[in-house]
Amino acid sequence: MSVVSEHLPSTSRHPLAQGPLHRLLASGGGQSVDLQTFFEHVRGLAAVLPPAQHAVNLCDDRYRFLVAFCAIALRGQVNLLPSSRAHAVVADVQQRYPQTYCLGDDAQQPLPPGGFLLPAVLPRLAGETPTLGEDQLVAIGFTSGSTGTPCANSKTWGSFLASTAQNLQALRSLWGDAQPALVATVPSQHMYGMEMAVLLPLLAPATLQAGRPFFPQDVALALAEVSAPRVLITTPVHLKALVESGVQLPPLAGIVTATAPLTQELAAAAEQAFATEVREMFGSTETCIFARRRTALETAWTLLPGVRLEPQPDGTRVHAAHLAAPVVLADLVELLPDDRFVLRGRRADLLEIAGKRASLGDLTRKLQAVPGVVDAVVVQLAPEPGHAVGRIAALVVAPAREEAEILRDLRELMDPVFLPRPLRKVAVLPRNDTGKLPRDAVLALLRH
């Protein structure tokens, strides 16, 4: 049986992965996998997948996710990458697309009816090097819902090839000519995790660490079991936990972070604690990564090669070789010489109340700076009947402080018209795997 769908586009085709067959692709957890073995796993799994148009890829082990991702594409199916593994989110994705099944790798996490559980021992099948057409639709990623309803974004194999080449140019100076080992704390289903910890090992000379460590000690152990040069792919939330834990990490070639704004203070603290460079990446599910900066030393971003920004009244239009058409983001930017820019917030985050102006991002930073506050977020609620402007509200994690005390301190930091009411204490903010806060989850906590 051929594992390649006969309905794939007849465009120029490209290998699933780059490099010689003996190249080390994945390691960790007691396994070392070269490119030839990986190709055999992909062909073997593709041959036993159920017939369908789409597959919700829920694999947690990063190597198994990688095998499943490529096997699904080799069958001519499309990987659906939900923003969360919550049953309601997965069910919503399944309902949107016909002929869809769920695929997973954890027997302890039951799949919906008709789901496909990867076998404990991956099947192997010899054959020619697997290839995909550059116009083939291989994935649909979904935004996190931090600003509203999650939106779908289609990705072709050609767009991934182009964006990964840009990412490699943006990062290669961290490790030079050596082959780095990538350890990631972010899920593969998130576009940042997909770009940095799935596509880079496939399409660049890099080795994938198969697990997904979460706690600081787990990160240290994962880094210790791979060879130098080591690169940690993480988020500001995870990086903050690493710095505050005092954990000792093996020598690092670099730390890469994205998904949420990184403060200059945290970037500098991480560089000092781990004796390495922290490189922040900027992008979105819609655009993939398109800019970078060394946040400890600079506030401006540098565009990746071939990217051009066009400021708009309501955001910024992004032009890039990996985008089939320009994409408009809600972020407002100020262009600088030498392909650089600075962010000026989002128009939707800008507030004007009683003739005074502020931004939700700045208000959140001020609330997070209050002594005793561990985590916080400020949002604007929908206007109530008869009111033109919605109220400001906040969730705060501050075990040793009372709400009234926090509000008293806030009065010293912001204009009274922007004081959040209600300000509600919670045990923990409903952050997802990448540290983002889905707006629906925040509003649900404010209602209770």
Q: Which pLDDT score is estimated for 7?
A: 43
Residue 392 β-bridge partners: 380
Does one domain contain both 313 and 412? no
Does one domain contain both 201 and 273? yes
- Say which CATH number the domain at 366 has: 3.30.300.30
Would 422 be classed as within a structural domain?
Answer: yes
Would 364 be classed as within a structural domain?
Answer: yes
Full domain range(s) for residue 371: 354-447
Banded model confidence at residue 6, pLDDT cuts 50, 70, 90 = very low
Residue 242 has pLDDT above 60, yes or no: yes
- 């890099």: which residue's tokens? 206
What angle is formed at CA 23 by the lines to CA 17 and CA 25, rounded to 5 degrees? Answer: 65
Does one domain contain both 137 and 251? yes
Does one domain contain both 166 and 246? yes
Q: Can you tell me the mean pLDDT for 108-125?
A: 90
Does one domain contain both 201 and 218? yes
Would 365 be classed as within a structural domain?
Answer: yes
Would 94 be classed as within a structural domain?
Answer: yes
Would 393 be classed as within a structural domain?
Answer: yes
pTM of the model: 0.84
Q: Which pLDDT score is estimated for 346?
A: 78
Would 5 be classed as within a structural domain?
Answer: no
- Which phi and psi angles does 317 have, rounded to 5°? -90, 125
Q: Can you tell me the mean pLDDT for 59-81?
A: 95
Q: Can you tell me the mean pLDDT for 290-300?
A: 97
In the DSSP assignment, the letter for residue 21 is T
Q: Computed over its alpha carbons, how large is the radius of gyration of the chain? A: 22
Would 6 be classed as within a structural domain?
Answer: no
Does one domain contain both 246 and 370? no
Does one domain contain both 437 and 404? yes
Q: Which pLDDT score is estimated for 146?
A: 55
Does one domain contain both 316 and 426? no
Q: What is the pLDDT of residues 311-321, one digit of tens each?
A: 998 899 999 98
Does one domain contain both 333 and 387? no
Largest CA distance in the chain: 71
How far apart are alpha carbons 82 and 93 in whole angstroms? Answer: 7
Q: Which pLDDT score is estimated for 1?
A: 37
How far apart are alpha carbons 49 and 51 in whole angstroms? Answer: 7
Q: Which pLDDT score is estimated for 107?
A: 81
Does one domain contain both 225 and 109? yes
Among the ranges given (87-91, 101-105, 164-168, 264-268), the one the predictor scored with the smallest mean pLDDT: 87-91
**Count of domains for the chain:** 2
* Residue at a domain's end among 294, 326, 345: 345
Which residue blocks in 185-341 are alpha helix, DSSP H? Answer: 191-194, 200-203, 216-224, 236-245, 264-274
Banded model confidence at residue 383, pLDDT cuts 50, 70, 90 = confident
- Say which CATH number the domain at 238 has: 3.40.50.12780
% residues pLDDT > 70 (the chain): 95
- Which phi and psi angles does 268 have, rounded to 5°? -65, -40
Would 3 be classed as within a structural domain?
Answer: no
Does one domain contain both 362 and 304? no
- Residue 346 Cα distances to 188, 241, 351, angstroms: 27, 27, 10
Select the more confidently predicted residue: 437 or 49. 49
Within 13 Å and on the Cβ side, how many CA atoms surround 255? 31
* Residue at a domain's end among 277, 311, 345: 345
Among the ranges given (171-175, 258-262, 301-305), the one the predictor scored with the smallest mean pLDDT: 258-262
Q: Which pLDDT score is estimated for 2?
A: 44
* Residue at a domain's end among 320, 345, 370: 345
Q: Which pLDDT score is estimated for 144?
A: 67
Q: What is the pLDDT of residues 74-109, one digit of tens each?
A: 999 999 998 777 788 888 888 889 899 999 998 888
Does one domain contain both 54 and 166? yes
Within 13 Å and on the Cβ side, how many CA atoms surround 71? 31
Burial of 219 per CB tally in 10 Å (0-12, 13-18, 19+):
buried
- Mean pLDDT value across the chain: 90
